[in-house]
Amino acid sequence: MPVDILNLGFCGVDCAACPDLLSQKCPGCRQTVWPDDDPCPPVGCCQKKAISCCGECDGFPCEMMAEFYEETEGHRQARARMQTVQENRKSV
């Protein structure tokens, strides 16, 4: 099943269900222009590599994101979404 990455953060988190977005701790990475010196790590990394999400990275899953993807159930779901993106990339 294809993943609609435009409704997800660069990391794969479903922004509509993210408590950090709802509590305004995170402004939402696709709706925000991040300052160069203060991006969310996956935002900065994806922008530097000119990719739409972590799942498009040749290094996925990377060491930087390993702990993040284990923190909560929502983050584990994000990893699964990014794995789907990665698998779809490889099958093309």
Q: What is the chain's mean pLDDT, rounded?
A: 84
Q: What is the mean pLDDT of residues 48-66?
A: 93
Q: What angle do CA 11, 13, 5 make, to 5 degrees?
A: 75
What is the number of H-type helices and E-type strands within the chain? 5, 0
* Residue 85 near residue 55, CB atoms below 8 Å: yes
Predicted pLDDT at 21: 78
Q: What is the pLDDT of residues 8-30, one digit of tens each?
A: 889 999 888 878 778 887 777 87
Are residues 12 and 81 in contact, defined by beta-carbon separation less than 8 angstroms? yes
Phi-psi region of 81 (alpha: psi -120 to 50; beta: other; left: phi over 0): alpha
Whether residue 3 is predicted with pLDDT greater than 70 in this model: the reply is no
Average pLDDT of the residues in 30-42:
74
Helix, strand, or coil here: 17?
helix
Residue of higher predicted confidence among 33 and 55: 55
